[in-house]
């Protein structure tokens, strides 16, 4: 096997390895939680945070309204029960009862408005929770298939690494060094096919001398433009 062929074989293996490493990274991200699931969780959390103070406000106003009703009832019982005969005290009691009635009316108006807000938020939260449940169910199914794919891709990667060791042994040390340097410089592609007179790495036409040397296959020839190692199929 010529050095050209050995390097081309090595490049094909490394390209396959790179693809599987990229897929494993993608799978790991997906296993941590997909975008749709994170968005659904965020929506539910935001609605819960919005709902909590309104529910607390409704509870506080309900308690205050009950207290106002109780106070007004007690004063009315005293006012009409004959326990108080002092005109000034009676007037004060009537004024207080009137004040409590006004407060009750305002509380009931505010309470109704706040309960409508709570009802709307609760409805939105219920819908968001349903969306979250569906997203979690889908994610659970996706996880099973993703973990199966993860195992398969890892197994393929191990086999490719073994193939790489075999392929690397057929490449001379100085050519290995050149190959690795070009892999770093050229986004992982150190070897390019010569298609006609054109380098398929950068799609630049080569000189007749370069083309002839590549086709002879007796030494390492690099592209005059991108510097990749040129090989014939």
Nearest to 194 by CA among 175, 164, 220, 168: 220
- The two tokens of residue 158 are 């191990």
Residues 134-193 pLDDT 10s: 988 878 777 888 889 999 999 999 999 999 999 999 999 999 999 999 999 999 999 999
Confidence category of residue 15, pLDDT binned at 50, 70, 90: very high
Which of helix, strand or coil describes residue 218?
Answer: coil
- Whether residue 12 contacts residue 5, with contact meaning beta carbons closer than 8 Å, is answered with no
Q: Which domains are present in the chain?
A: 3-169 (1.10.287.1490), 173-231 (no CATH)
- Cα–Cα distance, 69 to 214 (Å, whole number): 99
> Over the stretch 90-135, which tens digit does the pLDDT of each residue have?
788 889 999 999 999 999 999 999 999 999 999 999 999 999 999 8
- For residue 210, the surrounding DSSP H or E stretch is helix 208-216
Q: How confident is the model at residue 33 (pLDDT cuts 50, 70, 90)?
A: low
**pLDDT reading at 82 higher than 80:** no
């Amino acid at each position: 096997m010529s050095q050209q062929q050995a390097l081309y074989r090595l490049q094909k293996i490394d390209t396959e390895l790179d693809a599987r490493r990229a897929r494993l990274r993608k799978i790991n991200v997906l296993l941590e939680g997909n975008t749709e699931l994170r968005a659904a969780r965020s929506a539910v959390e935001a609605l819960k945070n919005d709902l909590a103070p309104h529910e607390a406000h409704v509870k506080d106003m309900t308690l205050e309204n009950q207290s106002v009703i109780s106070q007004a009832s007690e004063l009315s019982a005293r006012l009409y029960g004959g326990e108080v005969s002092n005109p000034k005290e009676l007037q004060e009691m009537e004024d207080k009862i009137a004040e409590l009635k006004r407060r009750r009316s305002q509380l009931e108006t505010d309470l109704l408005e706040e309960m409508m807000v709570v009802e709307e938020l609760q409805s939105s939260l219920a819908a968001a929770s349903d969306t979250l449940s569906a997203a979690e169910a889908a994610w659970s199914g996706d996880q099973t298939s993703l973990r199966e794919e993860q195992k398969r891709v890892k197994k393929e990667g191990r086999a490719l690494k073994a193939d790489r060791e075999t392929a690397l042994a057929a490449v001379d040390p100085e050519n290995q060094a050149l190959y690795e340097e070009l892999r770093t410089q050229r986004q992982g592609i150190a070897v390019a096919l010569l298609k006609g007179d054109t380098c398929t790495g950068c799609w630049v036409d080569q000189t007749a001398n370069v083309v002839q040397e590549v086709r002879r296959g007796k030494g390492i020839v690099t592209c005059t433009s991108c510097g990749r190692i040129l090989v014939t199929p």
